[in-house]
Amino acid sequence: MRPPLSEIDSLPWEATYAALPDRFYARLGPTPVARPQWVRLNRPLARQLGLEPQSLAGEAGLAVFAGNRVPAGADPVAQAYAGHQFGHFVPQLGDGRALLLGELIDVDGVRRDIQLKGAGPTPFSRGGDGRAPIGPVVREYLASEAMAALGIPTTRTLAAVATGETVWRHSPEPGGVLTRVASSHVRVGTFEYFARRGDQAAVRRLADYVLVRHYPHCTWAPQPYQALLEAVATATAELIAGWMHVGFIHGVMNTDNLSVAGETIDYGPFGFLDAFDPGTVYSSIDHFGRYAFDQQPAIGEWNLARLAEALLPLLDDDPDSAVDRAREALSRYRPHFEAVHRAGLRAKIGLAEARPGDDDLVHDLLRRMAAEGADWTLTFRRLGELDGTDARGDDGFRQGFRDPQAADAWLSAWRARLMAERRSDAERRAAMRAVNPAFVLRNHLAQWAVDAATERLDFAPMERLLGVLADPWSDQPEHADLARPPEMGQAVVRTFCGT
Ligand code: AMP
Ligand code: MG
């Protein structure tokens, strides 16, 4: 038996990214913090990574997750990337406050990046302090774990620690470090970084890296890079359809915040819908609604077009043919998004089969929800509790609409449509419970946990939310207060990057 201190020094680190050429990153270690303190270790995730939680939980783990000690075998780097921010190209962003410790192969054989976020300045900090306040650490922990439980591809959170130091934002706040686990941290902006420099060798090297790491089946395609673009487009379409189904608004879909692995990454001013309004924007810096809820599918496509531009030289020696290939690959995005999105919405209203008129039925409901301020999550959850033929129990559902009568005509049409379904009412209800969560990380709940952490280093609200959000599909009656929409005055209408 090794003593705990050395266990964390015998992790099977791999470093395929840090083995890429020097210009892909800056090699440096984290900046130690004053008085690190545990907030939380994600034990199930540690086990998924093949790690024994006990070996990470104590002082040795705390030192590693605070950035006070680089574990043996890790080779930390800050990754270089660029990106279009709100439509404007920024040639150099990069990890300004994050360090990739290395990669671990999880128990399913999947390679995972382990990254410290808030670990101190790097050559990419551009004047920033390289730190993270504890509030955004708590928000990202909650959101990433909630999304994972909802079955939406996402980065995860392995650990959160408080630093015992103060970071200055609008006011002094306690600092924190979050340990992020990702399929990789390659972004659309990573490709843009090299493409804009005219460094085609690096673009090719990165594309080959992504092919092998994320889309190995594409290496056999007649044109692997076209297949890669198509695969990223398909993954992105599915990701954004997933967001639309659970009412998630990313908030800053800049190309540097779009993973080529099709995972939700960079939880900043994100939010979940309460009352449905398709134009909902939470980000305080998104003045024109570029990243509003209903804009996300189109922005995904816009971002993919930036990836396509970066890949053009790899697609064909002849520029016109390269553009044709890019168009061809990108043309898969829309129809794929529509198909997945539609199927998901059909499932949300309990339809197992597709019939003409279903889209109209769905959109009629969405229109009424928007007009009557109906809550996104509760409306679908309650619909799943209604009887397929008997309208006598409809009141709870109807009361979710400002004018409950607005729901009646729709419910009649819905029941008429249900008659054409072959499965039983009980099966339909069970299926609806499995796609319409009872709990999402509502903004006022996230704010409650953030405030407690920021003001008092009190992580009890965070703990309670994590427990409930780990199983969003069950009713958990003892936590009914966390399923409710915000009351007047509780609603959070703006979220800040708060980074
Ligand atoms: P984000 O909005 O988190 O996607 O970050 C955009 C860019 O700003 C990235 O290059 C970040 O690394 C960088 N950044 C954000 N916050 C900080 C910070 N506190 N210190 C240094 N760089 C930062
Ligand atoms: Mg980012």
371, 333: one domain:
no
> Which of 164, 185, 206 corresponds to the end of one domain?
185
CA–CA distance, 92 with 123 (Å, rounded to integer) = 11
Say if residue 285 is in the same domain as residue 353. Answer: no
Q: Is residue 462 part of a domain?
A: no
Q: Torsion angle, CA of 207/208/214/219, rounded to 10 degrees?
A: 120
In this structure, are 415 and 317 located in the same domain? no
86 φ, ψ (degrees, to nearest 5): 50, 40
- Asked whether residue 450 is domain-assigned, the answer is no
What one-character-per-residue DSSP string does 36-93 give?
-EEEEE-HHHHHHTT--HHHHHSHHHHHHHTTSSPPTT---EEEP--EEETTEEES--
Judgement on whether residues 272 and 318 belong to the same structural domain of the protein: yes
Atom 23 of ligand 1: nearest residue by CA position: 96
Ligand 1 centre to CA of 96 (Å) is 5
In a domain, 451, yes or no: no
Distance 117 CA to ligand 1 centre (A): 10
Are 383 and 429 in the same domain? yes
Q: Is residue 413 part of a domain?
A: yes
Do 304 and 363 fall within a single domain? no
Report the domain count for the chain: 3
CA–CA distance, 394 with 383 (Å, rounded to integer) = 9
Q: Are residues 207 and 96 in the same domain?
A: no
Probe residue for ligand 1, chosen from 79, 134, 187, 499 as the CB with the greatest number of ligand atoms within 8 Å: 499
Given the residues 95, 113, 256, 394, select the one marked as catalytic.
256
Structural domain range at position 367: 349-433
181 lies in some domain: yes
Same domain membership, residue 111 and residue 25: yes
Residue 301 sits in the same domain as residue 362 = no
Ligand nearest to the CA of 136: 1
Residues 165 and 224 in one domain: no
What are 97-109's pLDDT values in tens digits? Answer: 999 999 999 999 9
Residue that finishes a domain, picked among 323, 341, 359: 341
The position carrying tokens 């980065």 is 155
Each residue's pLDDT tens digit in the chain (499 positions)?
444 445 899 999 999 999 999 999 999 999 999 999 999 999 999 999 999 999 999 999 999 999 999 999 999 999 999 999 999 999 999 999 999 999 999 999 999 999 999 999 999 999 999 999 999 999 999 999 999 999 999 999 999 999 999 999 999 999 999 999 999 999 999 999 999 999 999 999 999 999 999 999 999 999 999 999 999 999 999 999 999 999 999 999 999 999 999 999 999 999 999 999 999 998 888 988 999 999 999 999 999 999 999 999 999 999 999 999 999 999 999 999 999 999 999 999 999 999 999 999 999 999 999 999 999 999 999 999 999 999 999 999 999 999 999 999 999 999 999 999 999 999 999 999 999 999 999 999 999 999 999 999 999 999 999 999 999 999 999 999 999 999 877 878 777 655 6
33: nearest Cα among 130, 124, 114: 130
Other CB atoms within 10 A of residue 3 CB: 7
User: Do 22 and 109 reside in the same domain of the chain?
Assistant: yes
Final residue in a domain of this structure, among 144, 163, 185:
185
Residue 478 within any structural domain of the chain: no
CA of 266 to the centre of ligand 2 (A): 5
Q: Residue 131: nearest ligand to its CA? A: 1
Q: Could you confirm whether 256 is annotated as catalytic?
A: yes
Query: Do 302 and 377 fall within a single domain?
Result: no
Q: Residue 315 region, left (φ>0) first, then alpha (ψ -120 to 50), else beta?
A: alpha
Residue 453 lies in a domain: no
Q: Is 94 in the pocket of ligand 1 (CB under 6 A)?
A: yes
Here the tokens at position 464 are 């309670």
Decide if 229 is inside a domain.
yes
